[in-house]
Amino acid sequence: MDQIYELLAITLGAILANNFIFSQFLGICPFLGVSKKVDTAVGMGMAVTFVMGLASAITWLVNTFILIPFDLGYMQTVAFILVIASLVQFIEMFLQKSMPSLYTALGVYLPLITTNCAVLGVALLNIQNNYNFISSVVYGITGGLGFLLAIVLFASIRERLVFADYPKSFEGFPIALVTAGLMALAFMGFSGLKIW
């Protein structure tokens, strides 16, 4: 029962209270870069969720069964970058062969995830928080879902911003950054969330 409560807490934390983008400021580059349209934002969010879940599982295994026994905890970052890069490459090949439609839908975003700090962030946070295997995977997937939520909300706002009346000097990135800041402020409201 405790395990279930813990997973629930992790889920709510990763999606709302400790949202990767709005309160941990990880993965900002795709968040700003791929949020002009809701469709592409959904694609990017799904891809990130997928990779974050898988990366959490594999990095946890690598850390527990390879790095810790050899007393190489300080090599985590390097080893995880290696794991994530190979993983993304592998997924890309796998998708191209077996799910060409998903591959074309994700397009250029899949290789972009290699350099997404949210993915490396989740791998390192799992270790920092002393999560077990299941918690790590849940944290990875829900963290990805939090990213998905944030980027889709942001993209929908940006789509509407096109018709908004704001000073010309704010056009483009300035207004996007202002919007992101306001959204982060709004998400701060979740930090007081308590369910029991």
Nearest distance in Å: CB 99, other proteins: 11
Nearest distance in Å: CB 82, other proteins: 6
Residue in 22, 25, 21, 32 with CA at minimum distance from that of residue 173: 32
C-beta of 24 vs 40, nearer to other proteins: 40
CA angle 19, 52, 94 (to 5 degrees): 150
Nearest distance in Å: CB 70, other proteins: 5
- Amino acid at the residue 51: V
51-90 positions binding other proteins, by CB under 8 A: 62, 66-67, 70-72, 75, 78-79, 82-83, 86, 89-90
Write the interaction track for other proteins spanning residues 4-43; mark x where CB under 8 A is met and - where it is not: ----------------------------------------
CA separation (Å) from 153 to 10, 57, 70, 158? 21, 28, 44, 9
CA count, 13 A, side-chain hemisphere, 21: 30
Residue in 7, 138, 126, 110 with CA at minimum distance from that of residue 59: 126
Which residues would be at the binding site for other proteins (CB under 8 A)?
Answer: 62, 66-67, 70-72, 75, 78-79, 82-83, 86, 89-90, 93-94, 96-98, 100, 108
